[in-house]
Structures are given as structure tokens and as C-alpha cells.
Structure 1
Amino acid sequence: MKQLTSLTTLIMLLLILPGCGDKKQKGGESSDPYIWLEEVDSGKSLDWARAQNKLSDESLATQPVFTGLKERFLEVLNDRERIIYPGIVGDMSYNLWQDENNERGVWRRMPKKDYLAGKNVWETVLDLDNLSAEEGKKWVFGGATWLGPENRYCLLHLSDGGKDEVVIREFDALKKEFVDGGFSIPESKGSVAWVDRDRILVATNYGPGTMTSSGYPAMAKLWARGEDPAMASIILQTDTVNMGIFVSGGEVNGKQYVFLNDSRGFYESSMYLLTPDGVKMLDIQKDVETRGLFKEALLLYLQSDWDFNGEIFKKGTLVSYDLLSFLEGKPSVKTLFEPGERESLAGIMTSRDFIVLATMENVQGKLRIMRPVDGGWNTEMVPVPEHG
């Protein structure tokens, strides 16, 4: 596990840096003596950060409480009785396990039925420490994008040292190895989605002029297996002053849905659906928050009132946006949850057959299960402790 000093020095650095700037010359121009730190990957900047880390390490490590706190925190982080959170993929439960012997982690799995039965017999799928040693990297696991419904192949997201940028590589979970000659996306703040077994939609750094001022991809291309990415078709492109293009997807009943978000900022974006005829923009609000895909419907959390074909959906409402009717030219929107005066949506989880909503009412948590029934929704409250 990473040492406590790494965390504390990072916090100290974040506290120190804001005070380094904002000084002005008489003529109004910035005279920030630390402006060169904006080049975060330069040797000078890194040497300066290491020197500051050393000062912080020496100062913190001499505090009387340091050793005790460090041992206590490491004991908690390495506790073998801690809750094991699974990632459910088909009939399997996946988990990344880290401890004092597996700093980078072991990506492992077991059948879902065994996990639910309380068993603790895991099969190693990928040892991140071994991979790091073999490739001379410090790989940090960033998740997997699966190709359903078989869920044999996935696109693994790996970050060298925990950077924002990731490399994305095709992985065969059955053979437990990277696919020879498979899809491989160089390091970038990018995103990817499966279209089918031999095609993926990729937003990444394609060279000069293809990244936004925020450091994210300004375009998404459709890659075909074996094709030179430079020759791939551009599916969507945005102005480099915007935040960026982000892609995502999911499989429902054997069909792959692929989405593209043209984000102008954190709170405004246009959403598109990839179809055989190209991309089609969804008729939804720019400030809406997407909360997942359930069957053939997008779940949307409204951040402002929405007048949709004359029907008003209030701010704070969770609605479903039917994709099949959208593709037929007659989009359908239905209310799943509309908050009362003292209610709000706290969280949402989707499964194959139902949706679980966590809400707050008078600062008290409530749970409800919602199931689609005859074109509508059946709601069932889940008993929870009064102040849970």
C-alpha cells in the first residue's frame, strides 16, 4: 500500500500552491514567480515538487503522533476483514484486491452465486504488480469496458502511476491475457465504447489540434479491427474551446447502445446516439444528468424544469427516455420519481429487472424498488432503519 507520507505531502502541496500566485506588477501583468510550475511534467517542476515533498516528509515524520497514526491507518487499509465490494459482470463477481503484498492489486473473480453464498475463493485474472514489473510501469487499475452479452472481452483502462491519462488495451478474460494484436489506445484523457466485436468508438488524442483547451479529446473516431486509426472515420468533433467529447455505451438484450457527449462545460452538453445511419442528437436538455441505462431507456435526472411536447417535468425529477421510440421518431418520456417539497434523489442503481432509488425526505434516507409493469412503473418501498 502507498505510504501515509505520500498522502500527507500531497495535501501539503495542494495547500501551499494556491498562495504562490496572483501577484501583479504595477502595469497589471502577472509577476507570478512560480508560473513555470504550469509545465507540470517538466524536469524543473518535478524536481521542485520532490524537494517540497522531502521538506514535508521530514517535518511530518518527526511529529510525535506520526508513527502511531501511520501504523493505525495501514492496519485499516490492509485489514483482511474489510468489505469486499464486487463488480457484477454477467454471472461473475469481479474485485480488485490490494494489501501490503499487492500494492498495485490483484484483479480477481468468482461466480456471483459463490459471492452471494459468502465464499472467499477467488480466481486471479490479472496481477497488476507482476504486470508492472514486467513492463517497467506502475500500473493503476482504472476499470474495464465490457463487450456484452458474452462478457469475454473487455477494454482495460490502465494509468501509469495514477495519472489522469490512461492507456486502453483489449483483454481476453477467458484466457486471462491481453489480446495479441488487439485494440490498443495510447495514453490520453480519452474514453471508449464497444460497437461490436471488431469496432470501437474512440475519443483520444489524435495529434495537434485534436485536444481541447481543457485537455480532453475534441473528436471521436470509429475504429475497425486492423485499421490504421489515422484513417478511421470521424464520427463527432467539437470546438477546442469546449470541454471535450466523451463516449460511453452499454449492452441491452444483445444490442449495443453507444453514446457521445459533446460537453461545452461541466454542466452543459449535447448527447448523441450512434446508429447505422450516423449519429442522432437526443432531444433532451443540455443540463440534464444521465443516471444510467435501464433496458432500452436512458435515466435522466433533471436539473431544471423541462417542457417536453407540452408536458412539464419538474426540476429534481427522475425520468426515463425511451430509445426505441426515439429511433422511431416519437420519443417517449415517463416520470419515475418526482420529489415532494422536502424530498430529493440521493442515488440510483440499476439491475437487469428493476431500479433501486435512494431518496432523502426530511434528511432521512429511504429506499424503493421500481419495476416496469404494463407500460408503467410499480413502486415497492424497502424497509430500512428509521435513521439509516
Structure 2
Amino acid sequence: MPSTPSESLETTNPYAWLEATHDDAALEWVRAQTQRTEAELHDADFSQRVDAIRRVLDAQDRIPMVTKRGDYYYNFWRDAEHRLGLWRRTTWDSYRTENPQWEILLDMDGYALQQGEPWHFAGSAFLRPAEGQPHRRALIRLSPDGGDQVRVREFDLETLRFIDDGFDLAVAKTSASWIDENTLLVASATNESDTTRSTYARTARKLTRGTALEDAEVVFEVAQEHVAAFCYFDSAPGFERIVTTDAIDFYNSRTGVILDGTHHNIEVPTDVQVSLHRQWVLFAPQTDWEHHAELIPAGSLAIGNLTDFLNDGRIQKVIFQPDAKTSLQGMDFTANYLLVSLLHDVAAQIRVFDLRENFAETSLPLADPMLSVSVGAVDDEDAATADDYWMTVTGFTTPTTLFRGSIGAEPEVVKRSPERFDAAGFSVTQHFARSNDGTRVPYFQVADARLKLDGENSVLMDGYGGFQHSMTPGYAPAMGAGWLSRRSGNGRLPVYVMTNIRGGGEYGPSWHRAALRENRHRAYEDFAAIAEDLVTRGVTRRARLAATGRSNGGLLMGNMIAGYPQLFGAISCGVPLLDMQRYTQLAAGHSWIAEYGDPDVPQDWVFLRTFSPLHRLDDQPHPTDDYPASLIWTTTTDDRVGPSQARKMAARMIDKGIANVRYHEPEDGGHAGSTDNESTARMLATSYEFLWRQVR
């Protein structure tokens, strides 16, 4: 009989002792399993693979992506000499040269030595200077372990030092923005009353210099059952305001603005995504929205003037409506244009709307549909760069190129990344599999152009399928060094497959919603259908087919292990959700109820159990020798999913006598799995090495 939420924890969660992240008994088990895995995998071949991956991560000729602030272009950089990284800046004239001259603002390795702790750079926020003046102050986010919690410190951009008596916010899940030189807007989960069940900030406070955070004025708050209170101060001249978001769940929210001390809600359905820029307000409905007798379809983009909308609900124009193959992915503003990124059958398109000419539409010309393209404004407030944009172009075997252009003119190449692995002979193709319900599901295949369709090719499938996240082509030199650069025992090049299963955003909100909650199985059926299609086409066979996924992709992998073990020779399951009965009680899990369902609601638990890998192991058992070789891995400091779900799944598989289960849990790295290039290389090499040894 399926268990219910009311049953005792001891009955339904016999591995509860592994949930105590730093418990001695739990850590003893973790260390023993990790040492076993490393003893088997971390040999001379592994070290060579780590070195190869680390070299591409540390390469000095990587493109240093930058953000413009005032006259400077800022970058954060890590390499072999600077493990924790350098925060630095340069000028445009210098940046466009082959060897820019960088001014070092903050050496994180030196700071770690000074502090006696390995703090990790997690971002910055600049105080807007007076007109014509340089930037003088910034807030620096510092992570103690690579997790989501950060310390926030005030930094002086003139003396290049942290200010001893400046703003200094204790480690927590915190966001902070400048209101003025002596005032911050802070949302911080520092205590129980200021923290939601999802472990994020519940309140936003106006913090004045010299005042304790707990004594600061609360300017916005949300219910404790909601996901979070998100706030920032918009300092754009002429549009100064506090922007508030009450994140009710992952897909429902209420956005508002505080003007002159008065809070104004932007009255739209809670599943309409709202964004603000200067006088503009953008609306992206996730379901069909009828507004003022006009139907605005799900996945559309509408634009209006914020003042008009607050006064009478007026929207100026629906500037994009999706079709069955085209979806909205993102947008950004230059001074006079709106740049909108789309996908058409997972191929990039960029449309440009003129804000001065009733949103007249043009497109940026793109050469190759198998490449990904992203665009963003350079600095819309600087008259010299008002309509300039960055464009980044990348593909599976095409190194990244950074362009800079101005609307209406041909963009120029600013930087090109050199090749990091030998892609000669590889071909990128797109295919479609037919899922269980008849849906056509796309996937990309990177393979030898002379691929023999005899089932003898080693294949690595990659998937995610959740949270409306789109999987798109991109140059991944670590994957090239860790997977595509190998030769299997029969002398062949391996194959890499990126899947575009439901639950993602490749075809807009409907593609995502098709695999929500009780329909979650569709994402897993899609992935399984692609695996079967690879076999049917003769690309591979079970013994040579590996799969990998992280986070929600780790949940996907857990369901492949427990529900489709006969399809795969090996699986790598990283930082995963695996216990869907307990996930809302662990780390930030409560925030994902809208995606998966609530196990505390009996009718939800009925369908949640069907895609809870920990429970599927017992509910739908397979012969112990039928399961794929499985590497389950996480980090002790993952404060988003938490390590306990991976621990429990591995322990249960081992206790069931399933052969070739390995577990790996380094301490630091947070949900990303790594904190520096060395740990990233070791994390990736561990996964690649395990999979390769099973399917080569």
C-alpha cells in the first residue's frame, strides 16, 4: 500500500539519519562512500582528464566577459594562479586589444589569506554616483562555501579596500541594493521571523548606516508560506522607486512599486510575469490572459507605459505572440529599442522593436540555426553607447564569439575563443523522437560525420526538463575535453546528445506546463523516447548509452534509474532531488511545490510517489542486475537541494544489493558542485570518468 503523509517518519523514512547534514554518523558514511568511489576512479587516467579540463578552464585566452559601469568594463576572472579569482576592470580601448591591461580591484586569494577563510566572490552591486562622477562604492557578495548564503560587505573603489566600519551583512540568503550612500534596501533570511518556509527572505528593510538590520524599517513583507520577498531599488534617473515582488510560488507572483512611500500593486493575474524598465512595463502571461476584452495568449509579450497602466490598465501593444514552434526566451532594452530573444524549433532568433516608432519590428541577421545567440545592452544610460548591444554566438563545436554592435549597423567581432578540443569530423544534427503520447520531442546530436549506425557508438545523453529552462547549443570545452576527445575501445569518437524534453521552455509555457505536477511523467517518457530513438536509429545500444543530469536533471536521472533502468548502461545523477515525500522539508524545497506538487496534500502525494525515485525503487522493483551503473553525487554545502536526498538514494540502492552504485560528496561547492576551476575539473572528470568506463 502506498504510504501517506501521516505515517511515521521512521516507517516512511528509514534513512532519516542521513538528513542531518553534519551529523557524525552521516558524515562517516559519506566519507567512506566517497573514499571508495575515489579509490576506484581517481587514478592516473583520471588525473590526466582533470588536467585536460582544468587547462581549458584556466586558459588565459578565454573571453573575459565584462559589464560596463561608467567608463570601465568589469570582469571576474579565475585561473591556475588565482584559484579564488580576481575582480578587475579595464577601459574599452584596452579591452578590445588582444591583451587588455587590467586594474586589479580585489584579489580573492589574497583576501582569503588575510581573513583566514576561503571566501568566494558571488557578485557586486554599485552605488550610482552623482552625474559626471566615477563609481566610488560597491557592495560585494561573499560566499563562505559556494552555497546560496552570502556575506555582503561595502567596498571602496578608490582605495580598493573593504570599509572597516561600512555596511557588513552577516552570512544569510540575502539581496541588497543601494538607495543612497547611507541607505540600503535589504531582504535577508537572518532569523526565523524574517525567513519563509522556502528558506528565503520574508521581509525587505530600509537599512541606514549605523543601524542594526533587525532594527531597520520594514518596507515590504510577504506571508511565511510564500517563496520569498524580492525587492530592489531602481536608481535610474527620473524613475527612482522600490520594485517589490511577492513570490507566492515559483510561477505566481505579485509585482508592485513603492513611489513616495506609497505601494502600488500592478494588478494582473499572478501567473503574468511582470518586468519594469524606465517608463516601460512588460507582461509575459504563462496562461491565456483576457485583459480589457483582448485575449493575450500564453507565451506572448505585451508592453505598456507604467503610469498609464497604474491609472487605467492600458496596454500599448502585444508585440509578440507565439506559434507552435516559436517561443519567447528573454528581452533587454537599449535606450531606444527592445531586443527580444526567441527560439524556433530550438534555433535562435533576435527581434528588435523600435520604442519610438510604435514598436516597429526588425530582426538581427543570424547565420547558423545550430548556434545559440544571446544579446544584451552595453549601457543604455551612456549617450555614447545608448543603443549598443553585446551579442554572444556559440555552438557545440563552434567556439564562442563576442560581438558588439549598434542597432542598424553591422556588429564587429570583439573577442573569439580559440578551439579547446579537436572538433574536426564532428557534425551537429537535430532529430525528433516520438514520445509515448505522440508528441515530437527534439534533440541535438554531436557525432562523427561518418557515424556508423550499427549500435556500437558510446553516447552521453544530457537532460533537464523543468522550471521552463531551455537547453540550447553552446560551446562546452570541458565537455569536449572530458567526453568528445576520447576514443572508445573500437576506435570511434563518442557521441553527445542534448535533449529538449517537456518541462523545459524550448516551446514556451505550454511545453513547460505539459510536464507539471501530475503530468511529470511526460518529461521522463520524452527522455526515454529519445534513448529508444537512438537505439532504433542504430546510433547506440543499451550497453553503450550513458546519461547525465543535475538538480532537476538529477531527479530526471533518478527516474531513469528507478523507472527505465533497462535503457541505460550508466547514469550520473548530480545534486539531485530524489525523495519527493520529504523534499519540501529539506533546504529550499518548499519553493518548488508549484513545479512538483505538495506531498503533504494526500491527492498530490498519490502522483508525487510515481516520480519519487527513492520510492520507485520499492514500488516498481527490477532485478538487481538490471539497473545501470550509477554514480550519485552532491556536496555537503548544497543549501538549495541539500545532500540528504542523494545520500538516501545511494544508501537504499546499496542496501537493496544493486551492483555498481557509487556515491561521491565533497564538502564545498554548494548546489553548483564546485567553487573554483580545480574543483570544477575534478567534479566533471569524476562524472565523465565513471560514465566512460561503463560504456566505452
1:385 maps to 2:367: yes
Measure the CA separation in 2 of the matches of 1:311 and 1:147: 41
Q: Which has the bigger relative contact order, CA under 8 A and spacing at least 6? A: 2
Partner residue of 2:302? 319
Cα displacement (A) at 1:23: 9.4
Q: Alpha-carbon deviations, 1:314-342, whole Å to 9, x = none?
A: 21112234333356566545333222343
The equivalent position to 1:58 in structure 2, one of 27, 31, 39, is 39
Distance verdict in 2 for CA 1:289–1:119, change over 3 Å: farther
Q: Is the 8 A contact 1:348 1:356 kept in 2?
A: yes
1:96 pairs with 2:76:
yes
SS of the residue corresponding to residue 63 of structure 2 reads coil
What does 1:1-388 align with in structure 2 at a 5 Å threshold?
29-31=9-11, 32-62=13-43, 65-116=45-96, 119-148=99-128, 151-253=135-237, 255-290=239-274, 293-326=276-309, 332-374=315-357, 376-387=358-369, 388=371
Q: Is the 8 A contact 1:190 1:246 kept in 2?
A: no
In structure 2, relative to structure 1, the CA distance for the partners of 1:324 and 1:137 (3 Å cut) is farther
Shift of 1:273: 1.3
For 1:289 and 1:236, the matched residues in 2 are separated by 19
How far off its partner does 1:152 sit? 2.9
Change (3 A) 1:95 1:232: same
8 A contact 2:281–2:306 mirrored in 1? yes
Query: How far, CA to CA, are the matches of 1:113 and 1:273 in structure 2?
Result: 39
**Pair 87,219 (structure 1): closer, same or farther in 2 beyond 3 Å:** same
Q: Report deviation, 1:143.
A: 0.9
* Inter-partner Cα distance in structure 2 for 1:36 and 1:90: 53
CA distance in 2, matches of 1:308, 1:242: 26
From the CA coordinates, give the structure whose radius of gyration is larger. Answer: 2
* Alpha-carbon separation, structure 1, partners of 2:15 and 2:59: 42
How far does residue 188 in structure 1 lie from its aligned partner after superposition? 0.8
1:256 Cα deviation after fit: 3.1
- Bigger shift: 35-44 or 175-184? 35-44
What per-residue deviation string (whole Å, max 9, x for no partner) do you get for residues 242-282 of structure 1? 21212234332354332222112111111121222232222
**Match of residue 14 from structure 1:** none
Indicate the structure with greater helix content: 2
3-state SS of the aligned residue for 1:66? Answer: helix
CA RMSD of aligned residues (A): 2.6
Give unpaired runs (5+ residues) of structure 1.
Answer: 1-21
How many Å apart are 1:299 and its aligned residue?
3.2
Query: Which letter does structure 2 place at the counterpart of 1:189?
Result: K
- 1:41–1:267 Cα change, 3 Å: farther
* Matched position secondary structure for 2:225: coil
> For residues 227 and 380 of structure 1, what CA distance do their matches in structure 2 show?
51
1:99 is paired with a residue whose SS is coil
**Aligned counterparts of 1:119 and 1:337: Cα–Cα separation in 2:** 41
Pair 1:264–1:99, CA change in 2 (3 A): same
Secondary structure of 1:80's match?
A: coil
1:123 is matched by which residue type in structure 2? Answer: E
| 1:158-205 deviations in Å (ceiling 9; x for gaps) | 100102111111222233222342222111112122222222221113
Does the 8 A contact of 2:239 with 2:279 survive in 1?
no
Q: Assess if the C-alpha contact under 8 Å between 2:187 and 2:204 holds in 1.
A: yes
- Residues 354 and 115 of structure 1: is their aligned pair in 2 closer, same or farther, counting only changes over 3 Å? farther
Instruction: Tell me if the contact between 1:88 and 1:112 (Cα under 8 Å) persists in the aligned partners.
Output: no
Structure 1: 4+ residue segments shifted above 6 A: none
Given residue 323 of structure 1, which amino acid in structure 2 is its aligned partner?
A: L
Q: Displacement, 1:220?
A: 1.4
Structure 2 residue identity aligned to 1:166: V
The change in CA–CA distance for 1:42 and 1:154 in structure 2 (over 3 A counts) is: farther
**Which residue pairs with 1:11 in the alignment?**
none
Q: Distance in 2 between matches of 1:288 and 1:209?
A: 29
1:220–1:314 CA distance, 2 compared to 1 (3 A): same
* Bigger mean CA offset, 105-114 vs 330-339: 330-339
> Which digits, 9 at most, give the CA deviation of each residue in 1:35-70, with x for residues without a partner?
1332324455445433433222222113x6312211
Any conservation in 1 of the 2:266–2:310 contact (CA below 8 Å)? no
The CA distance in 2 between the partners of 1:339 and 1:365, in whole Å, is 14
Seen in structure 2, the aligned counterparts of structure 1 residues 42 and 279 have a Cα distance that, compared at 3 Å, is farther
With over 3 angstroms needed to count, the CA separation of the structure-2 counterparts of 1:29 and 1:106, relative to structure 1, is closer
Number of matched pairs = 362
Identity of aligned residues (%): 26
Which SS does the other structure have where 1:30 is aligned? Answer: helix
Change (3 A) 1:205 1:363: closer
CA distance 1:347–1:272, change in 2 (3 Å):
closer
Partners of 2:334 and 2:129 lie apart in 1 by: 14
Alpha carbons 1:90, 1:149 under 8 Å: kept: no
Q: Structure 1 CA distance, aligned partners of 2:72 and 2:105?
A: 12
